[in-house]
A and B are shown apart, each in its own frame.
Chain A
Amino acid sequence: MANKDSVAIRGGRILDPGRGVDLVGDVLIREGRIAAVGPGVAAEAGRIIDATGLIVCPGLVDIHCHLRDPGFEHKETIETGTRAAARGGFTTVCCMPNTEPPIDSRAGVEYILRTAAAQGVVRVLPIGCITRGRQGKELAEMGDLAEAGAVAFSDDGSPVADGALMRHALEYASAFALPVIEHCEELSLSHEGVMHEGWVANRLGLRGIPAAAEEAAVARNIALAEFSGTHLHVAHVSTAGSVEFVRAAKKRGIQVTAEVTPHHLALTDEAVMLAASVLSEVEGADGSVGLYYDTNAKVNPPLRPATDVQACIAGLADGTIDAIATDHAPHAIEDKLCEFDLAAFGISGLETALALCLTLTEVGAHGHAPVQLPVLIERLTAGPVRALGLARFVPGLGSLAEGAPGDVLVFDPDAEWVVEPERFASKGKNTPLAGRTLRGRVVATVYGGKVVYQA
Chain B
Amino acid sequence: MVQRATRGKAAEEVRPPEGVDIPTWERRHVLDLDDFSRREMEQVMETADAMKEVLGREIRRVPTLRGTIVATLFYETSTRTRSSFELAAKALGADVVSVAAGASSVQKGESLVDSARTLQAIGADILVMRHRHSGAPYLVAGHVDISVINAGDGWHAHPTQALLDAYTIQQHLGDLRGKKVVIVGDILHSRVARSNIWGLTTMGVQVVLCGPPTLLPWGLRTDHRGNENRALPPVEVDTNLERAIEGADVVMALRLQLERQQAGLLPSLREYMRLYRVDEERLARAKPSVLVMHPGPVNEGIELSPAVAHGARSVIEEQVTNGVAVRMALLYLLAKGR
A residues sitting closer than 8 Å to B (CB atoms) are: 197-208, 210-211, 240, 279, 282-283, 285-293, 305-308, 334, 337-342
Contact = CB atoms under 8 A, between A and B. Distances in A.
Given A202-B217, A240-B225, A289-B142, A341 B28 contact: no
B301 interface: no
Given A197-B218, A334-B111, A305 B227 contact: yes
Contacts of A211: 225
Given A338-B111, A339-B131, A202 B31 contact: no
B232 A203 contact: yes
6 contacts: A199-B219, A199-B228, A199-B229, A205-B156, A307-B226, A340-B139
A291 B148 CA distance: 14
A292 B34 CA distance: 13
B135 interface: yes
Given A293-B135, A334-B111, A202 B154 contact: no
Contacts of B134: 204-206, 293, 340-341
B139 A339 contact: yes
Interface in B83-139: 111-113, 131, 133-136, 138-139
A285 B29 CA distance: 12
B218 A203 contact: no
Nearest to B187: A202
Given A204-B156, A205-B155, A334-B111, A293 B231 contact: no
Interface size class of B (residues with CB under 8 A): 35 or more
A202 B218 contact: yes
A124 B139 CA distance: 38
Contacts of A206: 134-135, 154-156
B57 interface: no
A307 B194 CA distance: 26
A342 B112 CA distance: 11
Contacts of B113: 337-338
Nearest to A279: B142
B138 A289 contact: yes
Closest 6 CB pairs of A and B: A205-B156, A293-B135, A199-B231, A205-B155, A205-B134, A339-B133
State the majority secondary structure of interface residues on A.
Answer: helix
B324 to A, nearest CB: 26
B155 A293 contact: no
Contacts of B194: 205
B141 interface: yes
A307 B225 contact: yes
B118 to A, nearest CB: 16
B135 A286 contact: no
B111 A201 contact: no
B191 A205 contact: yes
Given A286-B28, A291-B138, A338-B113, 12 more contacts: A198-B218, A198-B223, A202-B219, A205-B155, A206-B154, A211-B225, A285-B26, A289-B141, A291-B31, A291-B34, A306-B227, A339-B131
Interface of B: 26-29, 31-32, 34-35, 111-113, 131, 133-136, 138-139, 141-142, 153-157, 191, 194, 217-220, 223, 225-232, 337
Contacts of A291: 31-32, 34, 135, 138
B133 A340 contact: yes
A193 to B, nearest CB: 11
Contacts of B231: 199-200, 202-203
Contacts of A201: 219
B26 A339 contact: no
Contacts of B218: 197-198, 202, 208, 210
A202 B232 contact: yes
Contacts of B28: 286-287
Contacts of A202: 217-220, 229, 231-232
A156 B229 CA distance: 32
B27 A199 contact: no
Contacts of A210: 218
A342 B134 CA distance: 11
A204 B135 contact: yes
Contacts of A338: 111-113, 139
Contacts of B34: 290-291
Q: Which of B35, B131, B134, B337 has the most CB of A within 10 A?
A: B134
A286 B154 contact: no
Nearest to B228: A199
B225 A205 contact: no
B111 A337 contact: yes
Contacts of B142: 279, 282-283, 289, 292
Contacts of B154: 205-206, 341
A286 B26 contact: yes
A241 to B, nearest CB: 9
B217 A340 contact: no
Nearest to A284: B28
A391 to B, nearest CB: 37
A79 B151 CA distance: 46
A199 B223 contact: yes
Given A204-B156, A205-B156, A287 B223 contact: no
A208 B134 CA distance: 12
A232 to B, nearest CB: 25
A206 B133 CA distance: 8
Nearest to A308: B225
B141 A286 contact: no
A298 B223 CA distance: 21
Contacts of B155: 205-207
Contacts of A205: 134-135, 153-157, 191, 194
A200 B230 CA distance: 8
Contacts of A288: 35
Contacts of A337: 111, 113, 139
Given A205-B154, A205-B191, A338-B111, A293 B225 contact: no
A342 B229 contact: no
B20 to A, nearest CB: 22
Contact of A290 (B35, B131, B226, B228): B35
A211 B134 CA distance: 21
Contacts of A339: 112, 131, 133, 135-136, 139
A128 to B, nearest CB: 34
